[in-house]
Each structure stands twice: as C-alpha cells, then as structure tokens.
Amino acid sequence: MSKNYSQVKDFFSGYAGKWDSLYGKKNRKDPFSMFADNVLRRVIKIRFAKTVKIIQENSCKSILDVGCGSGRYVLEFAREGLDVHGIDFAKPMLVIAEESLKTLALSHRVKLQQLSWQDFDRDEKYDAVIAIGFFDYQEDPSAALAKMVKTSNKVVVASFPKSTGILAIQRRIRYRIRNCPLWMYSHSDIEDLVANLTYPVIHQILKLGRDYLLVLKIKD
C-alpha cells in the first residue's frame, strides 16, 4: 500500500459526513459555505444530472459505482430500479450509504462493498461503470480507466478536475493543508488517457465548470 493511498483513505474516512453534506440543500451564511453553495454545489448538481441522463440514454440496467462514497448516485439509480454495485475503500462513507438505503427501503437493489478499485477482481460486467470524484485521487489513472472500460458493456462515465483556474488553485491549497494527495487534469491529459486505451471506444469530453466529464461508449 502506497503512502498516497493511505493518505487518501485516511482523509475520506475522517471527512465522510462533511463530504456528504456537499449534496445537501441548506444554504449557510458563513463565507466558505456560501462559496460552496454557490459554486461547488452547482457543479456537483450539474455533474449528477449529466451522469444520470447518460445512464438513461444508454438504457443501462446494471451499474458499478467506483468510489461510491456516501451513495448519492447509488441511491438515485436504485430509485430507478437498476441493479447497483457500489465500492469504496472508506468504511464511514459506506455507513452513510447503508443508512440512506435502509431509510428508503432500497437495500435490496444495491450491493455495497468496502474495497479499493485496485483490489476489485470480478469477471462480471456491468452495463455502466461510473467514477465520479474518483480520478482526483488516483496515482495511476491510466490503469484505473483501462480496467473500467474492460468491466463495462456499454458506457463509462468519469469526472476529472480541471488543473487550471481559480478553483483549481484554491483546491490545491485546501488539500495540501489536509495532507491529502490530489491529481488534476488538462483536456489534453484526458485525451492522452483515452489514446492509451487498448479497447475500442467512442469518447466525448464535456466541460462542467471546474470539472471535465469523460463519456466512453464501448464499441461492439
């Protein structure tokens, strides 16, 4: 286990509650929270809506959510009647997801597993693999993306934080203070990742404010 892996895992294990609150609807009044409400939540909501729409447009019935966190995407897809498998290496994140699923009586549609993507080893394929807020913390994004394409029948949807702009600078500072490794990307970085794939795909890169959203459609 690398030092970077341990640092990221420790960060998310201790930050689960605050992370989940980013999806909340309360508008708080302190300066940072107002910034989060007006900017960060806006991007998160757009990213969420785009991802859900892509899954619907591709008629996906089974979903693998890599780095599922507190389960916001897992919950949405379970509500739509899809079969969902969520994995995350941070147990506190999965506890929040499990509680939400029980509250909404959706546990029967979802399998949650404490597991890193590196350790995921199943022959089963899913119609869609999503990785939202995942590549921000990946030391080897090329291998991670290749494995996702190999695991998908139809589509892979993954977000990548932009490496330029005031939000990128602010985020680098915050994560340095928190001692959590962070990887950020340019448009050409993502194109290079796609070019390195050995599987035939059709790709699209969407610009979503501070993020890129990569959509990979698997060719037959």
Query: What element of type H or E holds 202?
Result: strand 201-208
Domain 3-218 sits in which CATH superfamily? Answer: Vaccinia Virus protein VP39 (3.40.50.150)
- What residue type is 182 in one-letter code? L
User: Exposure of 10 by Cβ count < 10 A (0-12 exposed, 13-18 middle, 19+ buried)?
Assistant: middle
The mean-pLDDT minimum among 18-32, 50-64, 118-132, 184-198 falls in 18-32
Calculate Rg over the CA atoms of the chain: 17
* Residue 66 scores a pLDDT above 80: yes
pLDDT tens per residue, range 71-87: 999 999 999 999 999 99
Residue 105 CB coordination number (10 Å): 9
Q: What's the CA gap between 179 and 187, in Å, rounded?
A: 26
Show the tokens assigned to 148. 């996702």
Please name the residue that has the structure tokens 């921000």.
136
What is the amino acid identity at position 10? D
Contact 78, 106 (CB under 8 A): yes
Residue 167 CA to residue 187 CA, distance in Å, equals 16
More confident site: 92 or 131: 131
Measured CA to CA, the distance from residue 141 to residue 82 in angstroms comes to 27
Domain boundaries, the chain: 3-218
What 8-state DSSP symbol labels residue 199?
S
**Chain segment 160-177, per-residue pLDDT in tens:** 999 998 888 888 998 888
d(Cα 18, Cα 143) in Å, to the nearest integer?
A: 30
Angle in degrees, 0-180, between the axes of helices 72-79 and 91-103, rounded to the nearest 10: 30
* 50 pLDDT more than 90: yes
Quick one: pLDDT at residue 35?
Answer: 60
- Which pair of structure tokens corresponds to residue 104? 């909404």
Using a pLDDT cut of 70, give the percent of the chain over it.
82
Q: How far apart are CA 52 and CA 98, in angstroms?
A: 21
Give the pLDDT confidence score for residue 138 in this predicted structure.
93
Hey, is 109 helix, strand or coil? helix
Query: Would you give the end-to-end CA distance of the chain in angstroms?
Result: 36
In single-letter form, the type of residue at position 185 comes to Y
Stretch 123-142: mean pLDDT, rounded? 95
Look up residue 154 and give its two tokens: 């139809």
Provide the mean pLDDT of the chain: 87
The candidate with the shortest Cα–Cα distance to 110, out of 138, 68, 146, 139, is: 68
> What is the value of pTM for the model shown?
0.87
> What's residue 41's pLDDT?
74
Dump pLDDT digits (tens) for 6-46. Answer: 775 555 555 554 555 555 544 445 565 556 556 667 888 89
pLDDT at 4: 65
Condensed to tens digits (0 to 9), the pLDDT of residues 83-112 reads 999 999 999 999 999 999 999 898 888 999
